[in-house]
Amino acid sequence: MKGGLNKFKVKKVKLEIVGLSYSQTQTGAYALVLGEAKGKRRLPIIIGGFEAQAIAIELEKMTPTRPLTHDLFRSFAKGFDIRISEVIIYNLVDGIFYAKLICGDGNKEVEIDARTSDAIALAVRFNCPINTYEFILSQAGIVLDEDAIAASNENLNAGEMVEVEETDFIKKSSEELKQLLESALNEEDYEKASRIRDELNNRKKS
């Protein structure tokens, strides 16, 4: 039985970031949705606002006026030729996901424990794969049918921050939104900046 469990645990499953939205269950928190790269299962993870902001900024290729903590870590690591080759969500205990970074300098490889939200914020900065094990997806994954997957992909694009009230943005002109965007970046209000950017991008598509 033990050997079978280990074999089950070591089977890796590649994940992709499907969406990022306000949590409907926890005030001030966000739901990060990871999707099975070659499958229908989704893995929702509740993360904090700062980490959600850090992930969204990198996904949307926004440049902070000053480096965030995860940007500082990237600069520090690259300064010493350290790369993150993989992020693994390796355990789930009492509803809490555990992750680790697989780091190396070309000669030595080290595994470093990290909060899952921090690990993913770094994964998008180092452009490295995000993996988990089959037993975690089996326990916490949500299986979507074809219609639900289509709706998920349409409504929860990677990095999208869902705002309850966007009426103020809709009423403003594109020039006003650009000024608001610049102001939000200067004030380091990246959550607001990402919503303004979404509104501007939506106007370009229409």
Give me the residues of the chain with pLDDT under 50, please. 1-5, 149, 151-166
Do 157 and 186 lie in one domain? The reply is no
Cα(174)–Cα(180) distance, rounded to whole angstroms? 10
| Span 49-86, pLDDT tens digits | 889 889 988 988 888 888 889 999 999 999 999 999 99
Q: For residue 159, how many C-alpha atoms fall within 13 Å in the half-sphere facing its CB?
A: 18
Do 106 and 7 lie in one domain? The reply is yes
Do 108 and 175 lie in one domain? The reply is no
Question: 3-class DSSP state for residue 206?
Answer: coil
Instruction: Tell me what pLDDT residue 130 has.
Output: 98
Do 59 and 135 lie in one domain? The reply is yes
User: Both tokens of residue 163?
Assistant: 């705002």
Structural domain total, the chain: 2
Do 37 and 54 lie in one domain? The reply is yes
Quote the domain boundaries for residue 196. 165-206
Do 173 and 150 lie in one domain? The reply is no
The count of other CB atoms within 10 Å of the CB of residue 23 is 16
Do 130 and 142 lie in one domain? The reply is yes
Cα(194)–Cα(200) distance, rounded to whole angstroms? 10
Do 10 and 27 lie in one domain? The reply is yes
User: Both tokens of residue 3?
Assistant: 């050997």
Do 71 and 119 lie in one domain? The reply is yes
Cα(192)–Cα(188) distance, rounded to whole angstroms? 9
CB 125 within 8 A of CB 58: yes
